[in-house]
Structure 1
Amino acid sequence: MNTNAKRTAVVTGGSRGIGRAIARRLAADGLAVVVHYTGNDAAAAQTVAAIEAAGGQALAVRGDVGDAGDVARLFDAAQEAFGGVHVVVNSAGILPMAQIAPAGLEDFDRTIATNLRGAFLVLGEAAARLGEGGRIVALSTSASALALPGYGPYIASKAGVEGLVRVLANELRGRRITVNAVAPGPVGTELFYQGKSAEQIARMAALPPLERLGTPEDIAGVVSFLAGPEGEWVNGQVLRANGGFA
C-alpha cells in the first residue's frame, strides 16, 4: 500500500543541489512534487523531467521566497495542480561570503532576505495550508559549529531558521503537524564548491569521522524520513546530518 497516495510536497529551491535531490526522493516516495525555483528555468525543467521520466508527477513554479506574493502563488499553484499540500520543505537559500563589517552589510541583508525572511514566509504559508498529518521541514546548517570567517550572515540566518522551527512546532500544537529542521554538514553541491580551492574542499571532507563530503542524496534520505509515517514522533527538532563532525 502506498502511504503517500494523493500527497503533495512543495520543495523550495528544488531545481538544483540538495533541493533537487529532495524533490526527486519525495517523488520516488510517491508524492507529487511542486519544484520551486528562483531563476534557472532549464534546471527546473530538468528536475521535473527527471521526476516524470521515473514515473512521478511534478510541476515547476518560479518565484522569490522572500516575496510574500510569490510564496502565496507557489502554494496556490500546488493546490490547483494537485488538490492540496501535505509536505513542505524549505530548501531555498544563498551563501555569499561576507565578513562581519560595514562592507558586508549588503550581503548580510540579501542573505537574511532569502534565508530567514524566506523561511518565515514559507513556514507561515505552510502552517496556514497544511492539514492534520502535515510535515514541515526547513534546511539549516551544521556550519555554525565551525564558525568559519566569512560565514557570519549565513550562520546567523540559519540560527534564525532553527528558532522559527522550534516556535512553529509549538504554535501548531493539537494539529498533528510536525515541524523540524535538517542541518547538513559539508555537501558536495555547486553551492559548496563555489570559490573553494581543492585544499579547502579536502580539508572539509576530512572533518567528519566518516571522512567524506555528504551527498545531496544523504540529506534527501533524512528529509524523506521526516516527511514519511516513520517520522511522526519527531517534532521541533534539528537533525544534524553531517557525518558526525559536530
Structure 2
Amino acid sequence: MRRCSNSIGGVYLVLDPGMDKATLLHRLKEALEGGVKMLQVWNNWPASFNLSAKQDLIQAIVHAASAYQIPLLINEEWELLKGSGLAGVHFDKIPEDYEAIKAEIEREFICGITCSNGLEVIHWAEQNQLDYISFCSMYPSGSVDSCDIVSPGTVKKAREITQIPFFLSGGITADNLIELKELDFAGVAVISGILNAESPRESTFAYKNALTNLNSKK
C-alpha cells in the first residue's frame, strides 16, 4: 500500500553534496522559504567524504527541513536510512533485491525511481507500489547528462499503466513548463535551476507558481 501518494508533488529539490556545505545549506534555507515540497541528496559526494561526513551533512539538512515538515530522501545509498532522519530512498535503476532492502530497513519509507524511455521501470514500480516515478531527462541538462531525453509519448504511455505520481526532471524551467501541459504529472525535480539561481527563494517560488498555473488550466 502506498504511503503518501496524495501528498507527493510540487517542487522536488535535489541537493548536490558536492557544493560547499555552508553555501548548500544557505541555498536550501532559501528554497524551503520559497516552497519546496520534497528533498533528495544526490549521490554526488566529494571523494573526501567518509560515512561520518555524509551522516553529518544529512543531519544538517534534516534539521533545516524539519521546521517545514519536508521529507528528505537519499539517492541510491539506502543503507543510510537506518538510524537517520531520512524519509526514503530514490533509485536510479531497478534495485537487484528490493524485498531484501525493505526487510533490512525495517520501517516504512518513501521510495521513488528514475525512468527514461523504458516502460519496464513503470511496470516494476507499479508491481512494487512505489510512491513516485521521476522521468529524466525532459530536456538537455548539465546536471543530468547521463539521462536519455524522454519522449512525451513515454510519459503518456506510462500513465496508461499506473496512477503513481510522476515528477518530470532535466532542463525544466518555470518558463518552459507550459510546453509540458499535455502531460499528467505531480511536480518537477530540479537541481541547478534552484541551487545555481541568483535567488533560490525566488526561483523556487517561480516553479511553484508555474505548476499552480499549469494545474489551473488542466
Both proteins in one fold, TM over 0.5? no
Greater share of residues in helix: 1
User: Larger C-alpha radius of gyration, 1 or 2?
Assistant: 1
TM-score, length-normalised on structure 2? Answer: 0.33
**Higher RCO (CA < 8 A, seq sep 6+):** 2
Give the structure-1-normalised TM-score: 0.30
